[in-house]
Amino acid sequence: MSSSDSSSENEAAEETDLIYYLPLQQAIRKVEWDVATRFVEADPDAVGALLSAEAETPLILAAKQGPRSNHFLARLLVLMTPDQVAQRDNTGTTALHAAAMHGNISGVQLLLRSQPALTNIPNKVGHLPLHLAAAHGHRKTVRFLFGLTRYDVEPNPYQGDHGVALMRYAMNARFYDIAISILQRHPTSAWQDRDPRDCFNSTSCIQILGTVLTALSSIGTAAHKKASNMA
């Protein structure tokens, strides 16, 4: 059999799978969890299936629906292996990336109980779930993931381009307390500022943070003086 024949057969099989799993895909997109649950219970192999041309699994697709998917996520996770939980779509997105992007901290917790390694699995542009939570302005999720994302494995989210990106996202979201925590862990995270659209018209993140800290200090001093005068 030629390679072209084999490739054609694989494409035909993939198309057949997409057609077979179309009701499950549609149920998840429409957040019809009862329908989706019945499908998975009738065909447990569906938990690891690719439901779209983007190679989205039921878990990834459900996580992209936000917090309203949490009950279904929990049902899926009971049926899945750790490797299945860590599957990525064609963009490298995991279910944890999707949950973090939506600020779905309960979903994040569900996923990490099943597969803790998800915190350090990057997408195709090198972003971890922590980066996406910061980029989309979800403070509580950033704080939660900041405490769990490892820096002793690659990619280290606090060094090199990854650290610079995380610092910019935190500054652009005005998460100054988180930016300070990042600097305390890895000071080099703010040494570069390559994107002129970020960190308030290309002023370096470290300069902006210095200005913010000075302002906060002034506010604190003024409040203290006011309290003293009223005493």
Q: Residue 43 belongs to a domain with what CATH number?
A: 1.25.40.20
What is the rounded CA–CA span in Å between residue 141 and residue 119? 12
Kindly state whether residues 62 and 136 are assigned to the same domain: yes
Give the end of a domain, one of 150, 169, 185.
150
Give me the number of domains the chain comprises. 2
Kindly state whether residues 145 and 169 are assigned to the same domain: no
pLDDT of residue 92: 98
Cβ(191)–Cβ(221) under 8 Å? no
Nearest Cα to Cα of residue 35 among 22, 21, 50, 24: 24
What is the rounded CA–CA span in Å between residue 45 and residue 43? 5
Question: How many secondary structure helices (H) and strands (E) does the chain include?
Answer: 14, 0
Kindly state whether residues 83 and 127 are assigned to the same domain: yes
Q: pLDDT tens-digit profile of 128-180?
A: 999 999 999 999 999 999 999 998 888 888 888 888 889 889 988 989 888 88
Burial letters 118-137, b for 16+ CB under 10 A, else e: bbbbbbeeebbbbbbbbbee
Kindly state whether residues 17 and 72 are assigned to the same domain: yes
Question: 109 is in which domain, residue-wise?
Answer: 1-150
Query: Confidence band (pLDDT; 50, 70, 90) for 16?
Result: confident
Kindly state whether residues 31 and 84 are assigned to the same domain: yes
Average pLDDT, integer, range 13-27 = 88
Kindly state whether residues 78 and 24 are assigned to the same domain: yes
Q: Helical H runs in the chain?
A: 3-20, 22-29, 33-42, 58-63, 70-79, 82-85, 95-101, 105-114, 129-135, 139-146, 160-172, 176-185, 199-202, 205-230
pLDDT of residue 98: 98
Kindly state whether residues 7 and 111 are assigned to the same domain: yes
What is the rounded CA–CA span in Å between residue 210 and residue 31? 45
Q: pLDDT tens-digit profile of 217-229?
A: 554 555 555 555 5
Backbone torsion region of residue 192, taken as left when φ is above 0, otherwise alpha when ψ lies between -120 and 50, otherwise beta: beta
Kindly state whether residues 36 and 20 are assigned to the same domain: yes
Kindly state whether residues 114 and 159 are assigned to the same domain: no
